[in-house]
Structure 1
Amino acid sequence: MPVEVQGTFVSQKINKIRWIPEEYVETTCFFTGSYDDYENSIKVWTLENSNEDEEIEYPRTLSEFPVAGDITEIKFTEKTRIAVSTSNGDVRLLEVSTYDKETPLREIHKWKNLHNYGSDQCSCSSLDTLDGDVVTIGEDGAIHILNTRRGQVSVSISGADSCSLHSVCFIKHTEVITGNIRGHMKIWDIRSNSNKPAASFLLAGDEMAATCIINHPTQPHIILAGSESGSLAMWDLRVNSFPTSLLNAHAAGVTEMQFHPENPQKLLTCSVSGEVWDWNMQAMTKSTMGTEHQITTWMPLEDQNAMRVNSLMPVLHKPINTLHCNKGKILCGADNEAIYLIKNFKY
């Protein structure tokens, strides 16, 4: 079946969108987080057919949780709990009902003014989660590790960076990687008492912000970063002095990336230039015999013409800020106040 794209106007600029996972049935519910509105909110939606004879599914709002400030990130800490960061420096832990998605979201914890310039507010620009722990970063250059079970701040690195931090990713429980507005990437050992990074390197030659960072689901030593210029950089952290591969990708900044949960050879990216792309990662890996006869997989700089990239929907004239895939369905949220559902994606 060909890929279908269906857009629905929702009267809010969508900054983050996330499918809500289900155990034994195909999920139809998802979260959205808005920005640049008089009152922003996190909404729970469901996809439903308005007519039984139609195959078109329209999103319908089930519940709404008002939030002060713009939503900057939404990540799951458990199957029914999400960590949410906002532009006023707050971080919330919210829970959705397992059985009744129309029940309003419940606030479990709130870390108020976690990121600040003293008495002045500043944005909590991003966060990442790993097994109940949350790492947050902000425009104040600070890093905080939150324990969601106890509702405590377990580690704080207040002067981690002199620049505004844009992106963050857990490498493992004891290590996180951050990217700042000038493209400086730093690895932090959160067990260390020092406020200095364990390693640091540049995203690229020009000073472009690292807009998003993820690691490979099956090879956690491989890190991908999207830049403000639209390029994709890849590192093998075993040799972390420079990107193993740097690909000129989108025409403008990369806003979000996700590996398909069931096929790590599929990478999805969206951008400020209004594009949603599907990358074949198999063409970017090469196996060689290492010194001790082990197989080493790395990202080659050469053979970039072998890259296979598909555009999944017509280019919009507004930024696509977010995407999230679940099996053959991909959700996208954009600045044109619409939600897009891409169906029949082959993974």
Structure 2
Amino acid sequence: MPLEVQGTFVSQKISKIRWIAEDYVETKCFFTGSWDDDQNSIKVWTLESPHEEEEVEYPRQLSEYLVNGDVTQIKFTEKNKIAVSLSNGDVKVLEVSLYDKQFPLKEVFHWEKLHNYGAEQCSCTSLDTLEGDIATIGEDGNVNILSGRRGEVMHSIKGADSCSLHSICFIKHTEVITGNVRGHMKIWDVRSTNNKPSAAFLLAGDELAATCIIHHPTQPHIILAGSESGALAVWDLRMNSFPTSLVNAHSAGVSEMQFHPENPHKLLTCSVSGELWEWNMEAMTKSSKGPDGQVMWMPLQDKKSMMVNSLIPALHKSINSLHCDKGRILCGADNEAVYLIKNFKY
């Protein structure tokens, strides 16, 4: 079946979009978080057909949770709980009803002005979650590790960076990696008390922000970072502290990346340039074995070997967020629309 793309105007700029996973059926519900509005919100939507005989599904709003400031990140802490970071420095954990998605979102925890310049507020720019733990970063250059189960701040790294932090990713429970506005990457051991990074390196030579960081789903030592220039950097933490390959990808900053949950060779990226791409990452692993017999990620000698497909015609506005579930991809953009892509082959 050919790829189907369907856009729906939702009259809000969408900063984040996330499917709500269901166990035994294809999910129809998702979250959106908005930004740059007089009153931003997190909404729960469902996909439904207006007429039974039609196959076209449109989003219908089920509930709305109002927030102060822009939504900067949404990540799941449990199946029905999300951690949300906001541009006023707050972090919240919200719960969606497992049985009735029309029921308004319930606030479980709220850390007020977690990121701040003393009395002045500053943005909590992003967060990452791992099995109930939450790692947050902000314009204040601080890193916080929160418990999404107990609602407490377990560890803070004050002054982790002298400038605004843009991206964070859990490598494992005890380690996070951060990227700042100048492309400086640092790895932190959250058990350490000396507030010094265990490793530091540059994303690339051009001092551009690291806009997003993820790790490979089956090989957590493989880290990918998206840059403000649109480049994609890949490196192996077992080998060296600088990227093994840097691919000039999008024509503007990478806004979000996700490996397909069921096929780790498929990577999806979206960009400020309005592009949504699918990458075949098999080309990046060459057949040579490392010292411990594992497959090595080699430098890209031949950039032509990368298989990249564009999934939708380029928009004139930024695509800020994407989320994939089996053969369907959602993305949210600055043109105040939500796009559903069906029949994606994975």
- The TM-score normalised by the length of structure 2 is 0.99
Aligned residues: 346
Alignment of 1:242-257 (within 5 A): 242-257=242-257
Following the alignment from structure 1 to structure 2, what is the Cα–Cα distance between the partners of residues 57 and 299?
43
> Given that residues 285 and 300 in structure 1 are in contact (C-alpha distance below 8 angstroms), is that contact kept between their aligned partners in structure 2?
no
Following the alignment from structure 1 to structure 2, what is the Cα–Cα distance between the partners of residues 104 and 326?
24
Give 1:148 shift: 1.2
- The answer for the alignment partner of 2:158 in structure 1 is 158
Deviations 1:293-323 (A, max 9, x none): x133214221221110000000000000000
Give 1:240 shift: 3.0
> Given that residues 287 and 295 in structure 1 are in contact (C-alpha distance below 8 angstroms), is that contact kept between their aligned partners in structure 2?
no
- The answer for the alignment partner of 2:185 in structure 1 is 185
> Given that residues 128 and 169 in structure 1 are in contact (C-alpha distance below 8 angstroms), is that contact kept between their aligned partners in structure 2?
yes
Give 1:168 shift: 0.1
Percentage of matched positions with identical amino acids: 75
AA of the residue aligned to 1:182:
R
- The answer for the alignment partner of 1:62 in structure 2 is 62
Ranges in structure 1 where 5+ consecutive residues have no aligned partner: none
> Given that residues 34 and 42 in structure 1 are in contact (C-alpha distance below 8 angstroms), is that contact kept between their aligned partners in structure 2?
yes
Alignment of 1:124-163 (within 5 A): 124-163=124-163
> Given that residues 187 and 199 in structure 1 are in contact (C-alpha distance below 8 angstroms), is that contact kept between their aligned partners in structure 2?
yes
Give 1:195 shift: 1.1
Residues 65 and 291 of structure 1, relative CA distance in 2, 3 Å threshold: closer
- The answer for the alignment partner of 1:308 in structure 2 is 307
- The TM-score normalised by the length of structure 1 is 0.99
- The answer for the alignment partner of 1:329 in structure 2 is 328
Alignment of 1:195-274 (within 5 A): 195-274=195-274
Deviations 1:11-64 (A, max 9, x none): 000000000000110000000000000000000000000011111100000000
> Given that residues 42 and 66 in structure 1 are in contact (C-alpha distance below 8 angstroms), is that contact kept between their aligned partners in structure 2?
yes
- The answer for the alignment partner of 1:339 in structure 2 is 338
> Given that residues 290 and 296 in structure 2 are in contact (C-alpha distance below 8 angstroms), is that contact kept between their aligned partners in structure 1?
no
* 1:8 lines up with 2:8 in the alignment: yes
Alignment of 1:67-106 (within 5 A): 67-106=67-106
Following the alignment from structure 1 to structure 2, what is the Cα–Cα distance between the partners of residues 299 and 317?
35
Give 1:81 shift: 0.2
Structure 1 range deviating more: 231-240 or 163-172:
231-240
Residues 320 and 291 of structure 1, relative CA distance in 2, 3 Å threshold: closer
- The answer for the alignment partner of 2:111 in structure 1 is 111
Ranges in structure 2 where 5+ consecutive residues have no aligned partner: none
Deviations 1:117-148 (A, max 9, x none): 00000000000000000000000000000011
Task: Could you list the structure 1 runs, at least 4 aligned residues long, displaced by more than 2 angstroms after superposition.
Answer: 289-292
Residues 38 and 290 of structure 1, relative CA distance in 2, 3 Å threshold: closer
- The answer for the alignment partner of 1:317 in structure 2 is 316
Q: Secondary structure at the match of 2:238?
A: helix
Give 1:288 shift: 1.5
Give 1:203 shift: 0.3
Give 1:262 shift: 0.3
- The answer for the alignment partner of 2:33 in structure 1 is 33
Q: Secondary structure at the match of 1:282?
A: helix
Q: Secondary structure at the match of 2:282?
A: helix
Q: CA RMSD in A?
A: 0.7
Give 1:149 shift: 1.3
